[in-house]
Structures are given as structure tokens and as C-alpha cells.
Amino acid sequence: MRVAAPVDGEVIPLDQVPDKMFSAGTMGPGFAVLPTGEVFSSPVDGVLTMVFPTKHAFAVTTDDGVQILVHIGLETVALKGDGFEALAAKGDRVSAGTPVIRADLAAIGAKVPSLVTPVIVMNGKDFDVSSPSLDDPAAVVTVTGKG
């Protein structure tokens, strides 16, 4: 299964995210995007299993059980939803590319340390996750079953 970039922008390795929780891989393997677009879409086909009340992050679970977290910006939870608009709801079946959150990057960027958006395979220990391909936003990492 391929995990796409959820937003237009520059794909970067997770170790370049200026937050140790993400850059050290503590939350799981993945990649990040320095967004230029304001619409954040599902990176995979699956069910939207979480849209945080503050709309700064969402999670999608694939039919194979892969859990993907998209976290828009750093320290954005403190904005309490200001600058974010939900375009989909928990429980919705989504495809890769289905819009989930719209974010006002100018308003948000002025209030947080970074707009970098980590994309994490939350249960990556249960799967084989490839190293990021920084050249193909449609397939940044590939996730397969172990074994």
C-alpha cells in the first residue's frame, strides 16, 4: 500500500522535523511535508478514524489495519481549532486524495513554530515501512505486511 503526501508542498524526511517526538520516530515511521497548499487530504484509502476536536490532526485506518496520522503544523493544538475547517467527519470512508481539513496557512503560520506536517504510520512496528521517496508525492512510503 502506498502512502501519499496529504498536501501540496515539499516532502522531507521525518528526521528533519524540528520536534523530537516526530523526528526521533517515537510516534512511528513516516515523512513530513512543508505545505504550500491549504487542503489536507487523506494519504490512503480507508476510514477516517479520528478528526481531533481542534482539527489540527486526523487519522485514517486502512482496511489492512494500517493507522496513518496527519499532524498539521507543530504546536497547533494550542490554536483550539482557529484557522482549521473540517471537510470530512470521523467514520467517513475516504480515498487517497479525499479532502479532510482546510487550513489557513497564513493565519496559523504566524502563531506556531512551524507548519511542517508529519505523516506517521502509527502502528509501523506491525508493518514493513519503506524509507521515504522524496520525489513521488503519490507514493512517499510503501507499507506492507511483515513476513
Q: Which position among 29, 55, 58, 71 bears the catalytic label?
A: 71
Contact 14, 36 (CB under 8 A): no
Q: Is 71 a catalytic residue?
A: yes
User: Distance (Å, rounded) from C-alpha 11 to C-alpha 135?
Assistant: 8
- In this structure, what C-alpha cell is assigned to residue 66? 494500517
User: Distance (Å, rounded) from C-alpha 3 to C-alpha 89?
Assistant: 20
DSSP 64-90: T--EEEEE-SBSGGGGTTTTEEESS-T
Q: Is the dihedral of CA 107, 113, 119, 123 positive or negative?
A: negative
Which residues are tagged catalytic? 71
